[in-house]
Structures are given as structure tokens and as C-alpha cells.
Amino acid sequence: MTDPEVTTDVLIVGAGPVGLTLACDLARRDVDVRVIDRADAHPVGTRARGVRARTQEVLEDLGVIAELIEHAETPIPTRFYDAEGRLVREATIYDPPPVPGAPYPGSLIVGQQFTEAALRGSFESSGRRVELGVELTDIAQHHDAVTAMVRVGGELRRIRARYLVGCDGAGSTVRKRARISFLGETWDDRQRMLFGNLGVDGLDSTVAHMWATGPGGMLTLYPMPKSRTWFFTAPLPPRSGPDDAPITVETFTEAFARHVAMPGVSFRDPVYLSVYQVNVRMVDRYRDRRVFLAGDAAHVHSPAGGQGMNTGIQDAYNLGWKLAEVITGAPESLLDTYEEERMPIAEHVLASTTTRSKSWAGSDTMRVSGRIVEAFQGRDPFADTSQLGITYRGGSLTVETGEPLKVRAGDRAPDARGVDSTTNGDVRLFDLFRGSHITLLIFGHGPIPQLPPGVHVHRVLPAATRRDPSESVFIDETGEARDLYGVEGDGLVLIRPDGYIGLTTDDPKTSAVAEYLRKILAVAPPKPTSPRADR
């Protein structure tokens, strides 16, 4: 039996952190969006637990960071042991030094079930809900829409959408039905990992524990009091035959005994148990006409450095505003910039996590632990695990005229603290950026260019300077904003809805701003705009 078609603007397949991030971003832009997932219940367990610095900024913009902080684990020391069980090093690895322009320099350790619950709650507060037990079976593309065939309780139904986004993981049905290649390798004989949450007796729960085990990686036990459980990872030996034995508490007990000679430690009360098979793969394209891929559906890699969920969330954050603008009339070519910007990032993540994984392997605990500490203290030799340094420089959505500033078009826009001229209260640049709009910062007293509706304009001025009381002024009391952005005289900095800089210029009279906006917004006659605190 096939029901009549149901229509929507965007259909998201997969209700993990990536799909939910995209759903929240589209919902706040008043885009008609549906989220389906084949699971019958929302999953539990720690799974992806490291919410990196840039991801925290994204989640602040989406209004859920406070809830995640509430569920975040308190940073604790990690003890590193050698193969004989001797303590080699103790360090607090998730508490790095402050980073200028970054309100969240460190990582939040949060069970993925809490991350998903926060995003899901935000999405459902818009009057929508995640549809569980809905399995995608096929897709058909048309010149103006996509038809998704889904199975619900044994019945086939159709959902017609203007666009479809696959956020359905490494085994993505969307990717397969769109016939998009998933190129790379599976580390069958090199690395398989046990992942799980369970109770532990006989270990100090005020610290985390890591043992160097040789080529397969580290065995770790990390207490998660907010989840009332421990997160356990351990390498498995290469398969010698079919691997269909069930994963039980005994599997983890045997893995611990195989690698760690420590009597008196026992395991109980499993919450989530799984085998993680390392794949290093990515797609050859992020888009097939009206079908897009994001997160693990587009790229998978070693877990070393905790980049998977964070990279996927940034995929969704990059795509969301572009879909919304095109749906409301922006040029279709804007959607081509999703692959242009995100594919090089995925390539870099695959390369850096593979190198990092090999670097972290081995039984030399002093060397391995040193590399792990470096990675999360901002000194990783392979890549910035905070993802604050991700840039889209040189892309088609970057424009620079005049003398380059300290920040460049394509870079993440840094945060700074100042005073709001309309309230005389403390304010951050991120407060001005928060929301679905584009922001134009005008440093100095230059004229305001003609702008279409919806662009928020704020002048940035030192404390001791004249200002127009009708304008929204960010009073840069300490000079932090001018220093971070590297503006010496007058200048304009245009910030995209995803917090990246689209345009910089030191010439306020340039037509570059209007020309840039025509590439990313629905065409509309510009009109003079006065700076307002329209937040």
C-alpha cells in the first residue's frame, strides 16, 4: 500500500547530532523540514563524547550550549600506564590554555545522548518532531524535487521534498541510493575497537585511566558520573574468521585481562556495547542534484582526536543557511559552495586523523601520552583538534579588497568583549552574530553601504570617540576587537550566518558588499540601512 505524497522543503534522513544540527538551523529560519530515522528509539551511550571548541560556538548559536554544559563532565586528570601497569604520566588533557577570540578553548566531555537530547529538544520546541521507525528505502530525483520512498510499520509511503540530506551515518542509504562513491580503505587487520558504557568496580573514579597496548591503540577507562557509567575503549585482535559472536560484559572483561594485568577490577551493568571498525573513506562528491550528504555519510576516519561528530556538525552548519537562502530565492549556485568548502576539510581530517592514529599507537607510553596531551592542549603536530582554525580562504565566497586584515575572508570570525551603546551593558561580538542573519561590522566612521533587509549592521568604535545615538555601536573599550580583526583605520567585515568571514575591505565606499550579497541572498533592491541593535 502506498499513501499519497507528503511534501516538505527539506527532508533529513538521520537523527544523530549532524541531522539534528541541520534541522535546528533550518527550523529557526522557518524552513519546512522533516527528520526521519529508522531506529525505533533514541540511542543511549557515550559514543562521540568530545565537543570541541568550534562546535561549542555552533551550539551556542543554536541556543543549546547551556544544556550541554550542564551535562558536561568535570575535567579530571588522566593517568597513563605502561604495558607492565606502571604509572608513567598524569595530566589533565581537556583543560587547555585560553585562546584569544575563543570563548570555549577546551573540549566538553558530554555523552552523545545528551548532545542529541539538547538538539532534539530545540528542534521540537519549533513544533516539529523527529519521526522514528521511518526507514528510507529508495529515492527518485526530479527537476524540482526528490521523492523518498520510506517504510513505516510495514507500509510504503512517499515523501516529496525540494531537497534531501543524508545524515544517516557510514552505512548511508541515501549515499547508496544516490550512487555516490565512498572511496578509501577498511582497517580490517589493523584496528578494531570495543566501545561501550558499563559499570566498573575496583578503579579510582576520580581519574581517567589509559594503558598503552601496542599497535592496536590505547585501552581507556573514563568515568562519566553524569551518565552514571564509565566509557571503555579497548583494541581487539585481528579477526581470524567470522565475527558474529555477541558483544557482552565478558567481551570487555577479556579485553581488559588481555591488555592490563590489574587484579580486582570488574565490570557490570552494560548500557551500550559495540565494536568500532576503523574505516578511512570519503565521498567523491557531496551532492547529486537535489541530494546532499553530511557527516559520516560523507566521510569516516580514525577516532584519534575526536573529530568525527565535530566535523559533521560543521558540515550541517555550513549547509543549513545555504539551503535556506536558496529556498527563499538566492542563486542555486550557492549550494555548489557546500562541497567546495567542506570537501577539502574532510580530506584534511582523514589525513590528519590517520597520521595521528599511527602516532598514538605503540607501547612507549611516555611518547604516546605526550602526543595525546599535545593534541588536546593545542599543540598537536598534525592538525588543530579544536577546529577553530578551519578556513575557507580562497573560495568563491571569499572577497578581499584593499589591504588584507589580520583576519582573512574565509576565516572564522573571532569573538571579543565590549559595551553595547544602546544599553551600556556588556556585550560580545558573538551576541551580535547570534541568529540566522548576516552581520556587517563597520570599523570607524565610514559610510554605511546600501544593504538589503535583514543584514544587521554594527559600528565598532573606541570608547573615547563621538558616536551617533541612533546607531548600534559596539564600544571596543579595550581595543580587543580591533586587535583581533587587525583593522588599523576604517574597514568593513561581513560575517556570514555560519560565523565565517565572507568579505573584508578597507574601503567603505566600495560596491563589493552589494556584489557579494547578490551571490548569497535573494535578489532584492538594496536600501539605505542605519545600524540598529536588531537582535
Q: Is residue 122 part of a domain?
A: yes
Contact 335, 288 (CB under 8 A): no
Number of domains into which the chain is organized: 2
Q: 339 and 478, same structural domain? A: no
Q: Which domain holds residue 341?
A: 6-73+107-186+282-359
Contact 11, 148 (CB under 8 A): yes
CATH of the domain at 486: 3.40.30.10
pLDDT digit string, tens, across residues 403-421: 888 899 999 999 999 999 9
Q: What single DSSP character describes residue 3?
A: P
The CA-to-CA distance between both ends of the chain, in Å, stands at 49
Q: Is residue 484 part of a domain?
A: yes
* CB neighbourhood size of 443 (10 A): 23
Q: Is residue 44 part of a domain?
A: yes
CA 532-497-106 angle, 5° bins = 110
Q: 403 and 352, same structural domain? A: no
Per the DSSP assignment, residues forming a β-bridge with 6 are 159
**Helix (H) or strand (E) run with residue 6 in it:** strand 6-13
Contact 129, 116 (CB under 8 A): no
* CB neighbourhood size of 269 (10 A): 11
CA distance linking residue 44 with residue 135, whole number of Å: 20
| Residue 531: per-residue pLDDT | 44
**Residue 261 neighbours by CB under 8 Å, 6+ apart:** 84, 85
| Residue 530: per-residue pLDDT | 44
Q: Which residues of the chain have pLDDT under 70?
A: 1-4, 188-191, 214-216, 238-244, 523-535
Q: Is residue 231 part of a domain?
A: no
Q: 432 and 342, same structural domain? A: no
In 213-256, beta strands by DSSP E: 218-224, 229-236
Q: 406 and 307, same structural domain? A: no
What is the value of pTM for the model shown? 0.93
